[in-house]
Amino acid sequence: MRIALLARAHLGTMAVLFVLALSACLLVAGLPRAMQASFDEALRRSLVSAPAVQADLTVSVESRSSEEDLHERGQFDARDRRWRQILPPALRPLATGAGHMSAKTTSTPVTGTSGHTHMNLGWLSDADRRVDWVQGRAPGKPSTMRYEGATIPVFEVGIVADALPELGFEVGQTKMVGENDYAALKIVGAFKAKDPRDRYWSHNVDILQVVKAQTPGSDELEKRITTLIPDAGLTALSGEGRNLSYHWILPIDARAASALAAPDLQAAVAEFGRVAALQSTASPYHLDTGLSKLLGDFLAEVATAQTVTYLVLGGLLAVALGVIALVVLLLGNRLDQPLSLARARGGSLRQVAGAGALLTGVAVLPAALAGYGLSFLVPGPVLPIVHLGPLVVVVAAVGFAGARLALTHRTPLHERRDDVSAGRPSARRVTLEVLVVVLALVGAYLLRARGASQDPFLLLVPVGLTLAAALITLRCYPYPLRLFVRLAARGRAAVPFLGLTRAARARSAGVLPVLILLPALGVSVFAAVISGGIADTQRLASWQQVGAPIKVTSNVEIPAASIDRIRATPGVEQVVIAQTGRVQVGYGAERAEALAVDVAQWRRILDGAPISVPPLSDGALVSPELRGRGTFEIGWQSRVKLATRGVVESVPSFFTQGKFMVVPLGVLTRPAPNTLLIKGDVSPDVLARLVPSATVETQERALSAIQDDPLTSTVRWTLLVVTVALGSYALVAVVLALVIGAAERASAVSFLRTLGLSDRQAQRLTVLEILPMILVTALVGLGLGLGLPFALGAGVDLSSYAGGLPVGDYSLDLLVPALLAGGLTTVAVLGAYAHTAISRRRNLGAVLRVGDLS
């Protein structure tokens, strides 16, 4: 057959097929690339935002004897080269940066402080590039001295300048450390970090600041500081008499990280730890890193994102293929006469089916290549689906065209009876359909019962529910229409009866749009509901993180003058002072976190917010761990007896677990506020200048931080794109449903026009024939989309994208469903009127053949 001639004759249909195939291939190939690019960005941001001590690889070993001591830099360098040699291939691209090495002692008490002050010794391989000496000088070679009848080493050390006043030390002092094996530490200089915000200091926070810890069984704090010694100090540093460990840090370059390689990285980290341990001689080498946990947490978040996005992308692909099938069906209908003629003249079934498939391929194949090529404009790695998606579209379109024509023209001069609307389904088919519905319901129940999980079962359940809804709709669709037909038959008007009768007797071509509209509406509404649920939970999480529109916290008391200045700042509406602290419960060693605040004022600040706190005028609100105590006593500035007035699971912005309580501010003898809860429109920078020692948090910033996460943005962006695409495909399906039945509808209207049917009646007839299918499918699709989030239940854990809170409160927002349903109805009505207007201009002789009226 002459394919070019057929293509020119049906150019409009071919163009529609080309556009639909192009859009489908671009979406199915481009969206996964964009998603994967965002996954890579999320992984990199996760590694960069995590402290370096967690993300980097640190090989450590303890020295327990003089034979295991390392006294020269060359010994450290040799081992550093060894660690890089044994790095697994998957880790090498990430560990190419220059690292550093260190030697540190731990738990080295200052003599005479009863273990409350510790001065440890530390050597950094690149200290000269990391610090500036602001007092005294850099330390030099160690020496010796006599102490209690023994010769002990004297280390020249440097100490961070901020620690001097906190510890009560001065440059030039000599401190004795140790309890048995003594050493003297002579403070010869004080330093400051060149860049204290550098990730490097995450590994050496003990050098840059005083580390404080609660002494067990006491209210006193232990203070620990690690001092710096030079390369020469290694000669006298030994693990024989003190706790000494050596460290080799291999920094991770997040720019080389890839989400696709994350599982291999996890395995590589474990392998590196195993191989490093094999290098041990006396004391074992061990790998210290939080990289495996970071990767594990990331993979868990990605698994959820992939489940949600691939679920909606799968629905998008299915709907796109369905719409393409409708166009192929339309093309086949228009090819019916020439192909029937060719078949009657001796053409083989292979030639007829091949001609239709080839004509479809002429439109689909270039569109697939164009969509595939355009997808490479989308940044991101090339996944297998990028290649397979367009291929699936081409094979499905061409295969459907060939198979349908082969079935239609399997016998020459095929005839179709117009007086039979549908055949009775066989018992086998009914049994199969019932089985599909039962399995879908059982699958949904099992999914809710077992909770969150990431496996193919999670993807099959929504597909099964959609298929079950479509089957039920197809089977039940004619019955309510037949009831309306009976009611219409009792009236005198013929148009309602004829229109509803034709709708109830719709053929498979008229019912096929149901299979496209239902998943299109279901998945698009599901995506809109999920997106709305994430947005609402994100807002709730931001309020729970901050606890007020603005929160100001300080490690020390906020002066009353600063509070007055904040109250007088333009834009500030209300300021609530609060104090947090750790209190003694009873007279024993039990401790609990406490918050003293005027709860009534706090509740006024939270008016209209999605969070609240119970009212409290006296007594205390306690955590579940402190429930059942009735009246109890606490020690906080003074001894206070409090009655339990309620139990709270958490306190927004302050406590989420453990032992805690909320008490009125009046229980304090002299409130020393360290927290301010502020309502108003004021810049956080202004508040930060008014209270330099404080940290300022806002609910808006917290919400922005949650929303700006790459994974969160990807999920919401993908849901938005899919919603728009599915809505567009649904509209196209409605238009195609009108076009596919246009010829048969025109013939019927033409018959009725010979009997006196007016143009207005013809319009009403067309609307009544089309609208029931649209409305029923729209209602079922909307119900399916609104019910899918609840049907899936805990099977989809979206807490990673909502600030850690579970997304379960899917509020019934009918805006998007109403827009979709309204759009479909409008298109159907407009299409009916357009069809009637076109049919009116046709000559009856061009529609009715000789003998049609006999």
Query: 679-693 pLDDT, tens per residue?
Result: 998 988 899 888 887
What's the confidence (pLDDT) of residue 142? 93
Closest CA to 717 of 258, 43, 40, 31: 31
Q: At 55, is the pLDDT very low, low, confident or very high (cuts 50, 70, 90)?
A: very high
What's the confidence (pLDDT) of residue 840? 58
pLDDT tens per residue across span 571-589: 999 999 999 998 988 887 7
Q: Which range among 282-291, 494-503, 793-802 shows the weakest confidence by mean pLDDT?
A: 793-802
Q: Which range among 243-252, 269-278, 419-428, 723-732 shows the weakest confidence by mean pLDDT?
A: 419-428
Q: Which residue has the higher pLDDT, 810 or 271?
A: 271
- 632 forms bridges with which residues in the sheet? 642
Which two structure tokens, joined as six digits, stand for 489?
A: 């038959």
What's the confidence (pLDDT) of residue 1? 58
Residue 331 has pLDDT above 80, yes or no: yes
Residue type for 348, please? S
Q: At 842, is the pLDDT very low, low, confident or very high (cuts 50, 70, 90)?
A: low
Element spanning 366, H or E: helix 349-375
Residues shown for the chain: 854
pLDDT tens per residue across span 227-262: 999 999 999 998 888 889 999 999 999 888 898 899
The rounded distance, in Å, linking the Cα atoms of 662 and 646 is: 10
Cβ neighbours around 422 below 10 Å, total: 12
What's the confidence (pLDDT) of residue 467? 81
What's the confidence (pLDDT) of residue 412? 65
* CA 544 centroid distance within chain: 19
Arithmetic mean of pLDDT over the chain? 83
Q: At 502, is the pLDDT very low, low, confident or very high (cuts 50, 70, 90)?
A: confident
433 contacts: CB under 8 Å, gap ≥ 6: 471, 475
Which two structure tokens, joined as six digits, stand for 633?
A: 């006593």
Task: Look at residue 241 and tell me if it is in a domain.
Answer: yes
Listed residues 240, 255, 270: the one ending a domain: 255
The rounded distance, in Å, linking the Cα atoms of 135 and 761 is: 99
Residue 56 has pLDDT above 90, yes or no: yes
List phi, psi (to 5°) of 578.
-150, 155
User: From residue 636, how far is each of 734, 757, 804 by CA, in Å?
Assistant: 71, 91, 33
What's the confidence (pLDDT) of residue 850? 45
638 contacts: CB under 8 Å, gap ≥ 6: 669
Task: Look at residue 357 and tell me if it is in a domain.
Answer: no
The rounded distance, in Å, linking the Cα atoms of 730 and 120 is: 70
DSSP SS3 for 530: helix
What's the confidence (pLDDT) of residue 848? 53
Mean pLDDT, to the nearest integer, of 590-614?
Answer: 91
Which two structure tokens, joined as six digits, stand for 157?
A: 């050390």
What's the confidence (pLDDT) of residue 239? 86
Instruction: Name the residue range of residue 664's domain.
Output: 556-692
Listed residues 255, 290, 313: the one ending a domain: 255
DSSP SS3 for 827: helix
Contact 145, 151 (CB under 8 A): yes
Q: At 664, is the pLDDT very low, low, confident or very high (cuts 50, 70, 90)?
A: very high
Q: Which residue has the higher pLDDT, 58 or 42?
A: 58
Q: At 363, is the pLDDT very low, low, confident or very high (cuts 50, 70, 90)?
A: very high
Task: Look at residue 117 and tell me if it is in a domain.
Answer: yes
Which two structure tokens, joined as six digits, stand for 644?
A: 């339990």
Residue 83 has pLDDT above 70, yes or no: yes
Q: At 221, is the pLDDT very low, low, confident or very high (cuts 50, 70, 90)?
A: confident
Mean pLDDT, to the nearest integer, of 93-117?
Answer: 88
Contact 95, 287 (CB under 8 A): no
500-532: b or e for each residue (b if 16 or more CB lie within 10 Å)?
bbbbbbbeebbbbbbbbbbbbbbbbbbbbbbbb
**How many domains does one find in the chain?**
2
What's the confidence (pLDDT) of residue 837? 65
What's the confidence (pLDDT) of residue 3? 81
Mean pLDDT, to the nearest integer, of 82-87?
Answer: 93
Residue 152 has pLDDT above 50, yes or no: yes
Task: Look at residue 688 and tell me if it is in a domain.
Answer: yes
| Burial status of residue 1 (CB atoms within 10 A of its CB: 0-12, 13-18, 19 or more) | middle
Residue 546 has pLDDT above 90, yes or no: yes
- Give the per-residue SS3 of 539-561: HHHHHHHHCCCEEEEECCCCCHH
Task: Look at residue 786 and tell me if it is in a domain.
Answer: no
Task: Look at residue 265 and tell me if it is in a domain.
Answer: no
Residue 531 has pLDDT above 70, yes or no: yes
What's the confidence (pLDDT) of residue 383? 86
Closest CA to 589 of 635, 655, 654: 635
The rounded distance, in Å, linking the Cα atoms of 533 and 224 is: 47
Residue 854 has pLDDT above 50, yes or no: no
Listed residues 208, 240, 255: the one ending a domain: 255
pLDDT tens per residue across span 783-833: 888 887 777 765 666 777 777 777 766 666 667 667 766 776 677 677 666
Contact 212, 225 (CB under 8 A): no
The rounded distance, in Å, linking the Cα atoms of 34 and 42 is: 12
The rounded distance, in Å, linking the Cα atoms of 52 and 47 is: 8
Which two structure tokens, joined as six digits, stand for 398?
A: 């061409």
Closest CA to 780 of 462, 473, 444: 473
DSSP SS3 for 608: coil
Mean pLDDT, to the nearest integer, of 42-55?
Answer: 89
Q: At 851, is the pLDDT very low, low, confident or very high (cuts 50, 70, 90)?
A: very low
Closest CA to 616 of 670, 661, 668: 661
Residue 373 has pLDDT above 90, yes or no: yes
Contact 816, 777 (CB under 8 A): no
pLDDT tens per residue across span 381-402: 888 888 998 999 999 999 998 8
Task: Look at residue 438 and tell me if it is in a domain.
Answer: no
DSSP SS3 for 683: coil
List phi, psi (to 5°) of 625.
-70, -20
| Burial status of residue 641 (CB atoms within 10 A of its CB: 0-12, 13-18, 19 or more) | exposed
Task: Look at residue 285 and tell me if it is in a domain.
Answer: no
What's the confidence (pLDDT) of residue 715? 76
